[in-house]
Amino acid sequence: MTTILAIETSCDETAAAIISDGRTIHANIVASQIDLHAQYGGVFPEVASRAHTESISAVVGQAMDEADLEYSQLDAIAVTQGPGLVGSLLVGVGFAKGLALATGLPLLGINHLEGHVYSQWLADGFCEPAFPIIAMIVSGGHSELLLMRGHGRYQRLGGTIDDAAGEAFDKVGRTLGLPFPGGPAIEKAAQCGNASAYAFPRAKTDSAYDVSFSGLKTAVMRAVTLQPKDRSHRQRRAENHAQLRDDVHIPDVAAAFQAAATDTLVNAAYCGARDHAASALFVSGGVSANKLLRDKLRDRLELPIHTPPLFLCSDNAAMIGAAAHFRYLAGLRSRLDIEARARWMLSEDVYAAG
């Protein structure tokens, strides 16, 4: 049995978890920064890294206490090495390196995206399907479509060519004056809206596996905000908040936007599964919590759809511990001089540089 302490600080959640065998959660502590960033309508990197610094020691200590374990009972320490906000990553990586040095435990630097993939293994009753598997990661910072050929073996099929799906939800939510984060707020508003009220575009890309949300976001902004002709482009960009039109019914806009965004994701997933004879589809990341997206995927794809429990959709350390278990078994050990990697593509050679 492997028991791993995992640390996650890639963006705005300070998290620590204790995971055994990549399946069992003994502790899963998350210190959210949503209230800190709500005033900005998005994550403010400097504020995020400072909050991580203030919270990480207490969060790790709470995880160890909740699991009722000593460091001598652990097999390794895992940490999100990237991708993410470099200032946030540095806090977690630095803390994990210090712990590894002090305890003598092996250190494992884990790719955040792989963590989202392995969040599926933490679901109650999960039974690992046969490979290959299509994995779609949709969050505030990432929209990726991967072909998973085996544990640790990935081929990137496509992804966003501009905004990530969650980023588009946040920006549209901000335009509509909804609270941050935008995803849950838009989903709630859309419940009493008419998705046919607006004909928002579904972007077409050069590859069926790629997605785009920039044009959709712009279409929403133009449809619902005043676009005064007597102001220059520079003046309009300088405005802090666009002014909503008086006739805008926010639930209708939310429903129409959500319909367009989810259609885009479903089409990419469908094409990936169709073209690569996948046995199952994994959908993970914050946007995977969207019920409309889950329902559409199950209606469109004739194969098992796996989504993590809602509490594991957003960033957490439990998923990092699950991924670390398989990397630990494969022999991964990171040096104590590893550095944070703000950009780190998940592919078959993801650990080539160790």
d(CA 234, CA 38): 26
Least confident of 28-32, 182-186, 196-200: 28-32
pLDDT for the residue 39: 67
Average pLDDT for residues 272-283, to the nearest whole number? Answer: 96
pLDDT band (50, 70, 90) for residue 40? low
**pLDDT mean across residues, the chain:** 92
What are the tens digits of pLDDT across the range 101-117? Answer: 999 999 999 999 999 99
What are the tens digits of pLDDT across the range 85-95? Answer: 999 999 999 99
3-122+312-329 and 133-307 share one fold: yes
CATH of the structural domain 133-307, one choice from 3.40.190.10, 3.30.420.40, 3.20.20.10, 3.40.350.10: 3.30.420.40
153-167 in b/e form (b: 16+ CB < 10 A) is ebeebbbbebbbbbb
d(CA 347, CA 155): 5
Least confident of 138-142, 217-221, 336-340: 138-142
pLDDT band (50, 70, 90) for residue 272? very high
Domain residue extents for the chain: 3-122+312-329, 133-307
Determine the Cα angle at 186 with ends 183 and 189, to 5°: 150
Q: Is residue 24's pLDDT more than 60? A: yes
pLDDT band (50, 70, 90) for residue 354? very low
Please name the residue that has the structure tokens 């909050």.
51
Fold (topology level) of 3-122+312-329:
Nucleotidyltransferase; domain 5 (3.30.420)
Q: Is residue 353's pLDDT more than 60? A: no
d(CA 318, CA 296): 27
pLDDT for the residue 44: 66
Determine phi and psi for 271, rounding to 5 degrees. Answer: -65, -40
Q: In what order do the strands lie in the sheet with 281-284?
A: 153-159, 143-150, 133-138, 281-284, 305-306
Is the distance from CB of 322 to CB of 119 less than 8 angstroms? yes
